[in-house]
Structure 1
Amino acid sequence: MSVEPMVVPAHLRFLSPLALFGLSLALSLAGILARPIESLSLFWPVNAVLAGVLLRYPRLASPVGLSLVWVAMVAADLVCGSAWGPALWFNLCNLAVIVTVWWLLSRPPRAHRRMRTPHGVLSVFGACAAGAVMAASLACVMATPWFEQSLRATWLAWFSEQFSTGVLVLPILLTAPSARALLRSGAKPIRLAPLLLLLASLGLSIAFGGPGAIAFPIAALLWCAWTYSPFMVSLLTLTAGSTLIVAVAQNLMHFSVPQSEPGVTTLMSARLGIAMLVLGPLVVACVSQANRSLLARLAHQATIDHLTGLLSRSAFSHRANTLLDSRQQHSQWLPLTLMMLDIDHFKSINDSHGHAVGDQALRLVARTLQDQLNADALLARLGGEEFVVVLPGLAPQQAIFTAERLRRAVQDLQLAQGNARLQVTVSIGLAGCTPEQPAPTLDELLARADQALYRAKAQGRNRVEQEQVQRQVI
C-alpha cells in the first residue's frame, strides 16, 4: 500500500540523516541526565519526538536513518557511564517504540495521521500503546541481569512510561503547523480565561492531593479544547500531564493506590490515569477544529462564487447595502458608481465551443477585472455572464475612464481554442450618484445600470454607456 508522504517545507529540506543523528544524541543525553540515579527515566520523550519527526519527514525513515538513531542513543548511554550490554539492548527497546509507532501511523490517510479526525486521535493512542507493549516486552527479555524488580514490575514500568510519554508528546509533533502556515495566519489574540483556569486547576490538584486530584484539570482542558487549536491543546495537555506526573513522583499530591497487584506502583497508576485523561480533550479539540473548518468552508461557499472566485450575488448585496448605508450616515456624502458588465455573445461561445470554454472565459474575464481594480472596489459575479462593480468615491463622470480601461483590458484578451484565438469582449452600463445626491437603493442602482447596459448592447456591444439621467446632467 502506498504511503502518502507529508509535504516537507522548502526551508527544512536540508535535514539529513546526520542531522537526525545529532537530534537523537542531544535528546538522549538530555533524557539520561534528567533521570534519577540508578533508575529509569521519569520522563523519556526521545522516542515520541523521533517518531513524530519521522512521520513529518518520512524520507528520514530509512534503514540508514534508523540505524543512526540507535547508534546515537547507544553513544549517549555509553558517554554517561552505562555498560555495553544495557546500552545496546535497552536502546533497541527504544528503537522498537519508534519503529512501531512510525509504521502504524504512516499507513492511515494524512488527515488521520495529523489528528484532524477523532479516528486519528484514537489511532495515535493505539500506536503509542502498541509501541509501549513492544518496548516493555523486549525489556523483560533481558530484565533479570540488570533489574531487581520482577518481570511484572519491569513490564509495567516500561509500558506506563512509554505510553504516557507518547500520548503527551507525539500529538505536538503531529499537529504542529508549518512555518508557512504560521506566517500566513499571522498573530492572533488568544483567550486567556481557559488557560488561567487550567493553571489554577493544576495548582488546586497539587494543593488538594489524593488520587482523585488528577481529574481536577479535566474541565479546564475541555474548555481549552473547545477554544484553542489542536496544536495548542497538545501543548497544554503536555504541560498538565507532565506537571501531574512530576507532582506524583515527588509525593507532592500524597497519591497512593492499594497494592492489590504485585509490582503496581503509585507512579505507574498515575501515569496511565493521566495518559487516558488527555484523550477526551484531544478528541474534543479535533472535533471542534473540524467544526470550525466546516463552518469556514460553508461561509466561503456562501460568499465566494465557486467558478470565478469573485463575490457571490448574496455576499455582494450584503456588502453593497452596507456601503450605501454608511454613505447615508456620513456627514458629507461621497460619490459612488455601479457598473454592470456582460460578456458579449456568451451564449454563442457555449454553443460553438462548449461549456468548458465558456467557463474558461468567465474565469479569464474575472481575473482580468480583478487585476484592473483597486482593493476598495466591490466586484462580484451576479450570475451567468453578468458581473457587477461598485466604485466608492468615484462619480460616474470619473468612473467612465475606469470602465473604458476594463473594457479595453478584456478586449485585449485572446482565449486559445485549438489553433484559433477566441476574442472576448464586454458591454458595460454605468449608474451612480454625485456628492450632492442622496444614495439610491441598491435595487435602483442595479436597474439603472442594467438599462445603460441594454443600450450598450443595442448600440453594437463592446462599449460603455452611462445612465440617461447622468448624460442629461452633463
Structure 2
Amino acid sequence: MPVDPMVFPVPSRLLLLLTLFGLTFGLTLAGILARPIESLSLFWPVNAVLAGVLLRNPRHASTGGFALVYLGMVAADFACGSSWKPALWFNLCNLGAIVSIWYLMSRLPRIHRRLRTPHGTLCLFAACGAGAMVAASLACIVAAPWFEQSVRATWLAWFSEQFSTSVLVLPLLLTAPSPRALGRSNTQPIRLAPLLVLMLSLALSIGFGGPGAIAFPIAALLWCALIYSPFFVSVLTLIAGSTLIVAVAQNLVHFIVPQSEPGVTTLMSARLGIAMLVLGPLVVACVSHANRGLMARLEHQATIDHLTGALTRSAFTRRANALLDSRVLHTPHAPLTLMMLDIDHFKHINDQHGHAVGDQVLQQFALTLQEQLHEGELFARLGGEEFAIIVPGLAPELAQFSAERLRRAVQDLRISQAELQLTITVSIGLAGCTDATQSPPLDVLLAQADQALYRAKAQGRNRIEHAEGLRQRG
C-alpha cells in the first residue's frame, strides 16, 4: 500500500524547531550565568552563534524560527529570575543583531557566505558591524532605563561587545566543515611552529603590556593564515582575540586609553582594535586556501587525464623515469615490465558511431583496466586510444599471464550507449628489463613496446606480442 509522503515531515519539522528553541535557551542561560553581577557580559556569543546556525541551516530562518529564538532567550531570562520588562526589551536588542547579520549574509552567494573568498570575509565584517549598530541603537532606545551611563556610553558598550564577539565567533561557524566533508578529508599532521609562535606572542602581549601589546600576535596569525585552513585560523583568531580581551578586562596588559572622548573606555577601545586586527589573518587565510585549491586543481589537470582518469603522458613520463632511477639506485636486480595497449579499430568506432560513443569507449576501457591493476602499477593515456602500463617487480617474459588477464577483461566488456551494444578488443606489446639487465631509458622501453604492439596489430589484433629478444611464456 503506498504511503503518503506528507505523513512524516511534520514531526521532523517540529523536532527541528524544538532543537532550535533548546539551543537558544541553553546558550542564553550559559551567557547569563557567566555574566558578572549587575554588568554587561564580557562576552555574549549567543547572538553570533545563533546567526551562524541560521545561516548554516536556512530552513530554520523563518518567522517561526526567529520567534522561537526570541522566546528561548526570554525564557532563559525568566529562568534566572529577571523581570519581564528587561527580559523582553534586552532580548529584542539581541534579536535585532541576529536578524540583521542573518539578513545581510544570507543575500550573498554561498561561496562568499562560507568565507571562501576575501569578499565574503569583508562582507562578514560589514554585517557584524551593522548587527552591532542595530543592537546598540535598540539598546539606547528601549533599554535605556536600565543603564546608568549616558546614551553615548551605552551605545559604545553594546556596539563594541557585539561587534568584537561576532567577528571572533561567526567565522568559526561559517567555515566549519560539515560532517560529510570531515569524513572525506585526509588527516594530515599539523605544523606546530606557527601555533607555538602564536602562543608565545600572546604570552609576550600579557608580559610586555601597553596599548601596542594587542598587535603582538598579528604576525603569528598571518603566518598561521598562510599554513592552516580558514576554519583552523578562525579557531586561532577566536582564542587569540578572547585571550587579549580578557587580559585587557583584567588589566593584565595595562592598556590605557586617554579619556579625550567621553564614554570611551579601555575595554571598548581594545575590543574594537582586536576585532579589526583579526580581519587581516582571516582575509589572508581565504586567499591562501583559494590558492591552494587552485594549485591542487591545476596539478590534477596536469597529472590526470580528464576523460579516462589515467595519468597524462607528461605525468607518466615523470613517474616512470623516477621509478627507473629508483631501480638503478636501490633495486638494480628488480624486474620491470612496460605494456603498450591500443584499442583495436578505434577509428572505425569514431567514424561510424561518433566521438561521443568513442569517448564512452575510452572511459569504459580505462575503467576496466584500472579495476584489474594493483597498487604501485602506473597506468597512463599516452594519446588517443593508446595507453601504457608499468608493472614493477614483474619480468616481461613472465608478464604474459597479466597481459592476458587484461586482454580478456577488455574482450568481455560490453559497452551500452542508447540502443547500441559495442564490444572491443585490445592489442598489447610488452617490453621491460629482467633481474639480469640494466634499466634502459624510458624512451627505449616505449619504442620496444611500440614495436611489439605494431606486430600484434599486423598479426591480427586482439593479441599480445613481446619485444624482440624477450622469451614468451604462456
Alignment of 1:200-211 (within 5 A): 200-211=200-211
**Which residue matches 1:280?**
280
Residue deviations 1:386-444 (CA, integer Å, cap 9, x gap): 10001111122331111111111111222223322122221111112221222222111
Percent identical among aligned pairs is 74
Offset at 1:144? 3.0
- Code of the aligned partner of 1:452: A
Conserved 8 A contact 1:337-1:431 = yes
Alignment of 1:263-274 (within 5 A): 263-274=263-274
- Give the Cα separation in 2 of the matches to 1:238 and 1:104: 22
- Give the Cα separation in 2 of the matches to 1:290 and 1:30: 37
- Code of the aligned partner of 1:470: L
**Which residue matches 2:172?**
172
Task: Specify every segment of 5 or more residues in structure 1 that has no aligned partner in the other structure, as ranges.
Answer: 1-11
The RMSD of aligned alpha carbons is 1.8
Deviation larger for 286-295 or 329-338: 329-338
- Code of the aligned partner of 2:466: Q
- Give the Cα separation in 2 of the matches to 1:48 and 1:202: 24
**Which residue matches 2:383?**
383
Alignment of 1:214-293 (within 5 A): 214-293=214-293
- Give the Cα separation in 1 of the matches to 2:419 and 2:209: 81
Conserved 8 A contact 2:121-2:283 = yes
Conserved 8 A contact 2:202-2:240 = yes
1:424 aligns with 2:424: yes
Conserved 8 A contact 1:31-1:41 = yes
- Give the Cα separation in 1 of the matches to 2:218 and 2:32: 31
1:337 aligns with 2:342: no
* 4+ residue segments displaced more than 4 Å: 12-15
Offset at 1:172? 0.4
- Code of the aligned partner of 1:94: N
Deviation larger for 119-128 or 417-426: 417-426
- Give the Cα separation in 2 of the matches to 1:362 and 1:14: 51
- Give the Cα separation in 1 of the matches to 2:233 and 2:174: 12
- Code of the aligned partner of 2:393: G
- Code of the aligned partner of 2:156: L
**Which residue matches 2:306?**
306
Offset at 1:179? 2.6
- Give the Cα separation in 2 of the matches to 1:331 and 1:470: 21
Alignment of 1:44-193 (within 5 A): 44-193=44-193
- Give the Cα separation in 1 of the matches to 2:349 and 2:473: 38
For residue 25 of structure 1, give the secondary structure of its aligned residue in structure 2: helix
1:197 aligns with 2:192: no
Residues 185 and 420 of structure 1, relative CA distance in 2, 3 Å threshold: closer
Offset at 1:60? 1.8
TM-score by length of 2: 0.94
- Give the Cα separation in 2 of the matches to 1:467 and 1:288: 50
Offset at 1:269? 0.9
For residue 470 of structure 2, give the secondary structure of its aligned residue in structure 1: helix
For residue 81 of structure 1, give the secondary structure of its aligned residue in structure 2: coil
Offset at 1:15? 7.2
- Give the Cα separation in 1 of the matches to 2:310 and 2:209: 59
Deviation larger for 399-408 or 254-263: 254-263
Deviation larger for 365-374 or 209-218: 209-218
Residues 193 and 331 of structure 1, relative CA distance in 2, 3 Å threshold: closer
Conserved 8 A contact 1:336-1:434 = yes
For residue 325 of structure 2, give the secondary structure of its aligned residue in structure 1: helix
Deviation larger for 115-124 or 19-28: 19-28
**Which residue matches 1:462?**
462
Conserved 8 A contact 1:427-1:463 = yes
- Code of the aligned partner of 2:162: Q
- Code of the aligned partner of 2:27: L
Offset at 1:314? 0.9
How many residues of Structure 1 are paired with residues of Structure 2 in the alignment?
A: 463
Alignment of 1:311-330 (within 5 A): 311-330=311-330
- Code of the aligned partner of 1:149: Q
- Code of the aligned partner of 1:276: M
Conserved 8 A contact 1:143-1:151 = no
Conserved 8 A contact 1:143-1:154 = no
- Code of the aligned partner of 2:370: Q
Offset at 1:132? 0.8
**Which residue matches 1:435?**
435
